[in-house]
């Protein structure tokens, strides 16, 4: 798996953790984020609300294209279903 270049702030309750244990926790967090941030999982968890057309769109291609947009058009919202 590719290690992405990201900054993470990780807070631990336990003060007495070895550097290997901390590295393991950060690696597990990275794997979790890698799985969650896949475009397929984002599309499943979102819907597009288009107030210009008064529609809620759930089609895979429309949601994927909306997520990839740099800036959304006015009155078009990306809504998380959770």
Host domain of residue 58: 46-80
Q: Is the pTM of this model over 0.75?
A: no
Name the average pLDDT for the chain: 89
Same-domain pairing of 9 and 32:
yes
pLDDT digits (tens, 9 = 90+) for 33-50: 988 889 999 999 999 999
36-40, long-range: CB < 8 A, 24+ apart: 39/64, 39/67
The tens place of each residue's pLDDT in the chain, 82 residues long, gives 556 677 888 888 877 888 898 888 888 999 999 888 899 999 999 999 999 999 999 999 999 999 999 998 999 999 999 8
Number of domains in the chain: 2
Q: Buried (b) or exposed (e) across 50-78, using 16+ Cβ within 10 A? A: eeeeeeeeeeeeebeebeeeeeeeeebee
Give counts: helices (H), strands (E), the chain.
3, 3
């Amino acid at each position: 798996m590719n290690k992405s270049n990201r900054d993470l702030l990780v807070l631990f309750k336990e003060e007495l953790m070895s550097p290997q244990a901390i590295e393991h926790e950060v690696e597990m967090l990275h794997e979790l984020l890698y799985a969650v941030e896949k475009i397929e999982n984002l599309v499943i968890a979102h819907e597009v609300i288009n107030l210009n057309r008064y529609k809620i769109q759930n089609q895979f291609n429309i949601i994927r294209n909306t997520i990839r947009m740099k800036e959304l058009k006015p009155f078009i919202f990306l809504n998380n279903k959770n």
